[in-house]
C-alpha cells in the first residue's frame, strides 16, 4: 500500500522545481516548460485523492490537460512571433517597452 | 445517485436559464463565419454591436425576471441576483468597447478580434456565476487566452513583447492557483464552494496547509484584478496593446475577477471564523496596491501607461470595499464598478481618438489641444476629475460610498488596520490629483507648438457625442446616486 | 511490488525535472520533460486513473511536447548559447526549489491523508464518459469553446505576415 502522502510529496517537489525553473530561467520556452511541470504537479494531487470513489478529481485533471494544450499552442505561437521580431527569446533581451 | 433521465432533464432545465450565454456562443460562431465570408470590417462591427446589445438586453431581462437563486448544470453555476447584475455591467463594458472599436484600426483589420472579445465576455459571464472550482479555473482561462492574443494585436515588437510577458505571467499565476485548488479539494472532497459541507471541511482543516492553499489560490485572482504583487503585467500590456483592447482589459476581466474575489473572500474568511486575519492581509495588499499604483503613475509620461497605473490604484480602492465585508459594502463595490467602467472606457475612447487624429501618446503632447479640440478637451477634463474622485462627478460618489462602508466596518470591528487603510486611501486620493490633472493642465495652460489656423473649429466627431452621453451619466450619478443605488439595493448579496 | 514501481517512477520524475532546472541545453531539457511526463503517467496508473494516463500520453507527450520541440527548433536556440544560466542563478533556483518543497512537504505532513484507495474500478472509463456528458457537460462545452478560440488565436498570431513598416 502506498501512502497517499508520498504522491503529495512527489507532486510538491515537482511543483517547487517547476516554479524554480520559471523564476530562474530567462528563456521563454524554458519558462513554459516550468509551467507545464507545475500543472502536472497539481494533476498528480487531483488524480491521487479520491473521495468516496467520486471521479471529480480525475475529471478535473482531464480539463487541466486540455487547458494546458490550449495554453501551450497560444504560448508557442506568441513565442514564435517574438522570435521573428527580436531574433531571440531571452526574456531579458526582449525589452522594447522602456519607460 | 440521480438517474440518467433526471440528469438530462436538469441539463435541459438549466439551458432555459442559460439564454444569454447560449446567445453569446452562437454569436461567436456566427462572427467567425461572417469574418470568413464578408471582407468588409464594417459588417463585422455592426454584427458585433448588435450581438452585444442583444446579450445586454437578455441579461437585463434575466436579472429583472429572476426571483430566487437558481443552480444550473448540476450546481456548476449559481445564478443569483448579484451574478445577474454583474453580467449586465460586463455586457455594458463590452458594448461600449465594441462601439469604441469602430475607430480601432488594429482590431478592424483582423476580424478574429471580435469573436475573441466575445469569448472573453463569455468567460466573464461564467466567472461571475461560478460556484465550482473547476468552472472558476476554466473561465479564468477562457478570459486569459483571448487576452494574450488581443494584447499582441498591434503585431509590432512592443505588442508581442507585452503579449509574451502577459502570457508567461498569467500561465504561472493560474498554475499557482490550480495547485492551491488541488489542496483545497483535498481538504473538502468537494468542488462546489458554496455548499455548507465545503465550509465545514475548511473549518476542520489544519491551518498551515489551508493557509498555503489559500495564498496560492488568491494569487490567481489577484493576477486577474491586477493587484500587487501580481500587477507587473498591466503597465506593459496597457502601453503596447490597441487602445480599445486596453479599455477592455481594464474593465471586463478586472470586474469579473472582483465579483469572484468578493465571493471567495467570504469563503476563505470562513465567515469571520478563520483564525488567520484575512481582512488585515487583504487590507495591506490594498494599501500597497494604492501606493504602487499612484506613485508609479506620477512618473509616467505616456498617457496610456499613466492610466494603467491609475487602474491599478482603482483596484486598490475597490479592494477597500471587499475588506469591509458587509452587504452594503458589496453594493458599494458594485456602484464603484459601474462608474469605473463608464469613466474608464470613456477616457480611453478619447485617448484613442487623439492618438488616431494627432498621433500623440505623451502627456506633454496634449499641450494646447483644448484649442484645437474644445469639445474633446472639456470631456477629458471632466473625466480626469471623475477618475481622481472629485465632485461633481460619479467618481466622487463612488469613492465616498466605498470609504463610508470602510468606516462602518472599522467602527464595528475596531480593527486598526482598517483605520490605516482609510487614512491611506484618503492620502492617495490627494496624490492621484497630481497625475490626473497633468493632462488637463497641459491641454489648457500650455500653448500648442504649431500655431492655430483658421477653420479648425469643426473637430467634432461621433466619439464626442458618444463620450458626452457617458459623461452625462457620470455627472447624473453624482447628483442622483439614488437612481442607481435603488436598483442596486434590490440585489441580495447575502451569501 | 507496486511500491517499488511507485518509488522508481517517482524518483525518475523528480530527477528528470531537476535536470531541466540545471541543464543548459534546451533540447535536452525538452527530452527530460518527456521523461518526466512519462513517469507522471506511470504514477497516474498506479493511482488507478488509467484514462487520465492515456490522455496524458496522447496530449502531453503527443501534442504539447511536439509543440515545444517545434518551438525549440524554429527559434533556433538549440545551441543554448543564448540561455546560459549563471552559477548564481542555478544556486538561487536550487535554493528556491528546496525551500518551497520543504514548506509544502511540511504542510502535507500536517494534512493527515491516509492511504491510497486500492480497489481499481473496472467501469471507470464508462463512468467518466457518462459524467462528461451529464454532470460535467458545462465544463465539457466550455473546454470546446476554449480550444476553438485558442486555435483561432494561435492561427492569427502565427499567420501574421511581418510588415516592414511595422518594425
Q: What is the CATH number for A60?
A: 1.10.287.3510
Contact call for residues B146 and B209 (beta carbons, < 8 A): no
Range of the domain at C88: 2-120
Per-residue pLDDT at A43 exceeds 60 = yes
C83 in the same domain as C12:
yes
Quick: pLDDT tens for C125-160.
Answer: 898 998 899 889 999 999 999 999 999 999 999 887
Cβ-based contacts under 8 A for chains A and C: 241
Is C138 an 8 Å CB contact of chain B? yes
Per-residue pLDDT tens digits of chain B, which is 495 residues long:
578 888 888 888 888 889 899 999 999 999 999 888 887 778 888 999 999 999 999 999 999 998 888 888 888 999 999 999 999 999 999 999 999 988 888 888 888 899 999 999 999 999 999 999 999 999 999 999 999 999 999 888 888 999 999 999 999 999 999 999 999 999 888 899 888 888 888 888 888 999 999 999 998 889 989 888 888 889 988 888 999 999 999 999 999 999 999 988 888 887 777 788 888 999 999 999 999 999 999 888 889 999 999 999 999 999 999 998 888 899 999 999 999 999 999 999 999 998 888 888 888 888 888 888 888 889 999 999 999 988 889 999 999 999 999 999 999 988 899 999 999 999 999 999 988 988 888 888 887 766 665 555 567 888 889 999 999 999 999 999 888 888 888 888 765
CA distance B21 to B167: 26
CATH of the domain at C95: 1.20.120.1200
Nearest to B148 among A8, A78, A85 (CB): A78
Q: Do residue B171 and residue A32 have CB atoms under 8 angstroms apart? A: yes
C146 in the same domain as C112:
no
C42 in the same domain as C72:
yes
Nearest to C107 among B126, B154, B212 (CB): B212
* Backbone torsions φ then ψ of B311, nearest 5 degrees: -70, -30
For residue C22, the model assigns a pLDDT of 86
Whats the size of chain A, residue-wise?
Answer: 99
C84 in the same domain as C155:
no
Q: Tell me how far the alpha carbon of residue A29 is from its chain's centroid.
A: 11
- Looking at C85, C103, C120, which one is the last position of a domain? C120
For residue C166, the model assigns a pLDDT of 46
Tell me the DSSP string of B396-410.
HHHHHHHHHHHHHHH
Chain C environment of B145 (Cβ under 8 Å): 146, 149-150, 153
**Chain A nearest CA to C4, separation (Å):** 10
**Chain A nearest CA to B132, separation (Å):** 11
If phi over 0 gives left and psi between -120 and 50 gives alpha, with beta otherwise, what is residue B73? left
Nearest of B147, A73, B175 to residue C150 by alpha carbon: A73
Mean pLDDT (whole number) for C46-58: 91
C127 in the same domain as C98:
no
C14, C52, C129, best to mutate vs chain A, most A CBs in 10 Å:
C52
Is A54 an 8 Å CB contact of chain B? yes
Determine the residue of chain B that is closest to C114 in CA distance: B186
A2, A75, A78, best to mutate vs chain C, most C CBs in 10 Å:
A2
Mean pLDDT (whole number) for C63-69: 86
What is the pLDDT of chain B when averaged over all its residues? 89
Per-residue pLDDT at C165 exceeds 50 = no
Chain A environment of B361 (Cβ under 8 Å): none
Cβ-based contacts under 8 A for chains B and C: 87
CA angle, B428 as apex, B424 and B434 as ends, to 5°?
160
C161 in the same domain as C86:
no
CA distance B34 to B1: 44
Q: Write the CB contacts of B33 (distance below 8 Å, at least 6 apart in sequence).
A: none
* Backbone torsions φ then ψ of C101, nearest 5 degrees: -65, -40
Is the backbone peptide bond immediately before B183 cis, with ω within 30 degrees of 0? no
Radius of gyration, alpha carbons of chain B: 22
C88 in the same domain as C15:
yes
C139 in the same domain as C103:
no
CA distance C9 to A5: 16
Cell 465576455 appears where?
B121
C37 in the same domain as C82:
yes
> Which residues in chain C (30-89) have CB-CB distances under 8 A to chain B?
none
Tell me the DSSP string of A52-75.
TT--HHHHHHHHHHHHHHHHHHHH
Q: Write the CB contacts of B430 (distance below 8 Å, at least 6 apart in sequence).
A: none
**Chain A nearest CA to B421, separation (Å):** 30
Tell me the DSSP string of B266-310.
HHHTGGGT-SS-HHHHHHHHHHHHHHHHHHHHHT--BHHHHHHHH
Q: Write the CB contacts of B46 (distance below 8 Å, at least 6 apart in sequence).
A: none
Range of the domain at A15: 4-86
Q: What is the ipTM of this complex?
A: 0.96
Nearest to B239 among A18, A81, A97 (CB): A97
Q: Do residue C14 and residue A17 have CB atoms under 8 angstroms apart? A: yes
* A96 lies in some domain: no
Contact call for residues C100 and A19 (beta carbons, < 8 A): yes
Give whole-number Cα distances, B493 to B80, B261, B262, B314, in Å. Answer: 9, 13, 10, 22
C143 in the same domain as C102:
no
For residue B339, the model assigns a pLDDT of 94
For residue C167, the model assigns a pLDDT of 42
Give the three-class secondary structure for A90: strand
Nearest to C142 among B112, B138, B183 (CB): B138
Q: Do residue C49 and residue A61 have CB atoms under 8 angstroms apart? A: yes
Is A81 an 8 Å CB contact of chain B? yes
Number of domains observed in the structure of chain A: 1
C51 in the same domain as C13:
yes
The subunits that touch chain C, with at least 3 C-beta pairs less than 8 Å apart, are A, B
And the C-alpha cell for C130? 457518462
Q: Which residue has the higher pLDDT, A51 or B36?
A: B36
Q: Do residue A16 and residue C101 have CB atoms under 8 angstroms apart? A: yes
Chain C environment of B208 (Cβ under 8 Å): 106-107, 110
* A98 lies in some domain: no
C116 in the same domain as C42:
yes
Cβ-based contacts under 8 A for chains A and B: 118
Q: Which residue has the higher pLDDT, B425 or C165?
A: B425
* A22 lies in some domain: yes
And the C-alpha cell for A62? 482531464
| B230: DSSP letter | S
For residue C85, the model assigns a pLDDT of 56
Q: Do residue B185 and residue A46 have CB atoms under 8 angstroms apart? A: yes
Cell 436598483 appears where?
B487
For residue A64, the model assigns a pLDDT of 96
* A95 lies in some domain: no
Q: Tell me how far the alpha carbon of residue B473 is from its chain's centroid.
A: 19
Amino acid at each position: 500500500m502506498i501512502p497517499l502522502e508520498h504522491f503529495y510529496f512527489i507532486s510538491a517537489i515537482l511543483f517547487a522545481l517547476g516554479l524554480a525553473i520559471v523564476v530562474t530561467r530567462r528563456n521563454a520556452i524554458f519558462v513554459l516548460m516550468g509551467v507545464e511541470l507545475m500543472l502536472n504537479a497539481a494533476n498528480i494531487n487531483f488524480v491521487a485523492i479520491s473521495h468516496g470513489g467520486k471521479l471529480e478529481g480525475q475529471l478535473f485533471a482531464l480539463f487541466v490537460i486540455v487547458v494546458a494544450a490550449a495554453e501551450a499552442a497560444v504560448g508557442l505561437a506568441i513565442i514564435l512571433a517574438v522570435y521573428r521580431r527580436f531574433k531571440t527569446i531571452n526574456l531579458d533581451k526582449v525589452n522594447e517597452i522602456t519607460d | 445517485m440521480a438517474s440518467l433521465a433526471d440528469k438530462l432533464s436538469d441539463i435541459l432545465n438549466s439551458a432555459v436559464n442559460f439564454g444569454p450565454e447560449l446567445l453569446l456562443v452562437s454569436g461567436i460562431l456566427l462572427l467567425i463565419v461572417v469574418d470568413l465570408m464578408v471582407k468588409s470590417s464594417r459588417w463585422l462591427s455592426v454584427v458585433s454591436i448588435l450581438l452585444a446589445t442583444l446579450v445586454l438586453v437578455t441579461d437585463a431581462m434575466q436579472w429583472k425576471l429572476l426571483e430566487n437563486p437558481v443552480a444550473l448544470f448540476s450546481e456548476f453555476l449559481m445564478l443569483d441576483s448579484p451574478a445577474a447584475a454583474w453580467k449586465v455591467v460586463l455586457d455594458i463594458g463590452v458594448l461600449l468597447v465594441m462601439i469604441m472599436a469602430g475607430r480601432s484600426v488594429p482590431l478592424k483589420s483582423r476580424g478574429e478580434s471580435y469573436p475573441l472579445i466575445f469569448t472573453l465576455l463569455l468567460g466573464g459571464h461564467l466567472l461571475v456565476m461560478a460556484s465550482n472550482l473547476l468552472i472558476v479555473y476554466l473561465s479564468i482561462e477562457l478570459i486569459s487566452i483571448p487576452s494574450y492574443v488581443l494584447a499582441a494585436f498591434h503585431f509590432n515588437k512592443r505588442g508581442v513583447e507585452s503579449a509574451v510577458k502577459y502570457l508567461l505571467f498569467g500561465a504561472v499565476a493560474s498554475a499557482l492557483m490550480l495547485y492551491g485548488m488541488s489542496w483545497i479539494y483535498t481538504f473538502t472532497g468537494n468542488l462546489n464552494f458554496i455548499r455548507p459541507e465545503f465550509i465545514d471541511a475548511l473549518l476542520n482543516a489544519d491551518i498551515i496547509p489551508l493557509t498555503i492553499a489559500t495564498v496560492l489560490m488568491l494569487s490567481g485572482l489577484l493576477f486577474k484584478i491586477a493587484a500587487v504583487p501580481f500587477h507587473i503585467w498591466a503597465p506593459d500590456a496597457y502601453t503596447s496593446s490597441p487602445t480599445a483592447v486596453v479599455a477592455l482589459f481594464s474593465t471586463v476581466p478586472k470586474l469579473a475577477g472582483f465579483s469572484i474575489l468578493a465571493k471567495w473572500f467570504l469563503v476563505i474568511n470562513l465567515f469571520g471564523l478563520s483564525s488567520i486575519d484575512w481582512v488585515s492581509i487583504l487590507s495591506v495588499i490594498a494599501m500597497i496596491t494604492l501606493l504602487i499604483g499612484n506613485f508609479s503613475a506620477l512618473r509616467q509620461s505616456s498617457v496610456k501607461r499613466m492610466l494603467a497605473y491609475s487602474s491599478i490604484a482603482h483596484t486598490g480602492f475597490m479592494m477597500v470595499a471587499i475588506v469591509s465585508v458587509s452587504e452594503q459594502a458589496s453594493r458599494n463595490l458594485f456602484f464603484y464598478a459601474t462608474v469605473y467602467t463608464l469613466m474608464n472606457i470613456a477616457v480611453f475612447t478619447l485617448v484613442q481618438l487623439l492618438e488616431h487624429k494627432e498621433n500623440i501618446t505623451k502627456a506633454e503632447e496634449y499641450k494646447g489641444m483644448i484649442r484645437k479640440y474644445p469639445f474633446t478637451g472639456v470631456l477629458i477634463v471632466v473625466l480626469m476629475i471623475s477618475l481622481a474622485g472629485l465632485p461633481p462627478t460619479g467618481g466622487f460618489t463612488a469613492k465616498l460610498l466605498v470609504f463610508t462602508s470602510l468606516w462602518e466596518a472599522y467602527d464595528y470591528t475596531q480593527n486598526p488596520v482598517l483605520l490605516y487603510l482609510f487614512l491611506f486611501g484618503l492620502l492617495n486620493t490627494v496624490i492621484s490629483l497630481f497625475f490626473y490633472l497633468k493632462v488637463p493642465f497641459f491641454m489648457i495652460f500650455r500653448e500648442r507648438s504649431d500655431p492655430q489656423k483658421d477653420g479648425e473649429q469643426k473637430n467634432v466627431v461621433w466619439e464626442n457625442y458618444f463620450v458626452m452621453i457617458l459623461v452625462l451619466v457620470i455627472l447624473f450619478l453624482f447628483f442622483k446616486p439614488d437612481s442607481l443605488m435603488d436598483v442596486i439595493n434590490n440585489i441580495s448579496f447575502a451569501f | 511490488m507496486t511500491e517499488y514501481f511507485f518509488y522508481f517512477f517517482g524518483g525518475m520524475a523528480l530527477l528528470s525535472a531537476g535536470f531541466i532546472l540545471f541543464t543548459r541545453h534546451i533540447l535536452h531539457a525538452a527530452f527530460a520533460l518527456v521523461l518526466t511526463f512519462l513517469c507522471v503517467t506511470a504514477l497516474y496508473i498506479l493511482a488507478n486513473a488509467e484514462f487520465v494516463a492515456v490522455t496524458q500520453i496522447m496530449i502531453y507527450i503527443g501534442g504539447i511536447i511536439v509543440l515545444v520541440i517545434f518551438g525549440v527548433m524554429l527559434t533556433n536556440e538549440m545551441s543554448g548559447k543564448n540561455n546560459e544560466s549563471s552559477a548564481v542563478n542555478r544556486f538561487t533556483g536550487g535554493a528556491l526549489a528546496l525551500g518551497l518543497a520543504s514548506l509544502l512537504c511540511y504542510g502535507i505532513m500536517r494534512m493527515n491523508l491516509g492511504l491510497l484507495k486500492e480497489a481499481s474500478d473496472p467501469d471507470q472509463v464508462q463512468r467518466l464518459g457518462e459524467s462528461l456528458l451529464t454532470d460535467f457537460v458545462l465544463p465539457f462545452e466550455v473546454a470546446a469553446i476554449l480550444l476553438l478560440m485558442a486555435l483561432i488565436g494561435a492561427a492569427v498570431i502565427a499567420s501574421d505576415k511581418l510588415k516592414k513598416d511595422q518594425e
